[in-house]
Amino acid sequence: MQEKLALAQKELALRAYEASSGGGMVKAVVNGSHRVVSIKIDPSVVNPDDVPMLEDLIVAAVNEASKRAQEDSAEEMGKITSGMGINIPGLF
C-alpha cells in the first residue's frame, strides 16, 4: 500500500491544473504539488490605476487551480485507501 501511495503522489505531482478568473483574463496553472507553474495575464486587464483588481484576479485563479489539484489528490488517494479506514490528514 505504501508503494501505491508513493506512486500516486509522484504521478499527481506531474499533473497540471489550470483555472481562470475575470472571464479568462487571468489564467493560473499549478502542479499536483500545489506549486504555481505559470500565470498568464491578458494585457487588456493590466491597468496601472486598478492594481488591486488585477491582484484579486490572480489570487482567484491561483486559489481555484490549487483547489482543483487538492480535490484530484484527495480523489486519487481515496481510491487507494477506500475501505481501509485510513485517513490521510489534509486529503480528506
Summarised one tens digit per residue, pLDDT across range 22-73 is 999 999 999 998 899 999 999 999 999 999 999 999 999 999 999 999 999 8
What pLDDT is recorded for position 9? 86
Residue 44 has what DSSP assignment?
G
Query: Do residues 63 and 17 make contact, with C-beta atoms less than 8 angstroms apart?
Result: no
Arithmetic mean of pLDDT, 18-22: 97
Q: How far apart are CA 61 and CA 33, in angstroms?
A: 16
What is the pTM assigned to this prediction? 0.77
Taking alpha carbons only, the member of 65, 37, 41, 69 closest to residue 55 is: 41
Map out the domains of the chain with their CATH numbers.
2-81 (3.30.1310.10)
Read off the pLDDT band of 89 (50, 70, 90).
low
Residue 44, C-alpha cell as written in the block: 487588456
* Cβ-proximal residues to 70 (8 Å cutoff; 6+ apart), any chain: 34, 91
Residue 54 β-bridge partners:
none
DSSP string, 30-53: EETTS-EEEEEE-GGG--TT-HHH
Which has more pLDDT, 1 or 76?
Answer: 76
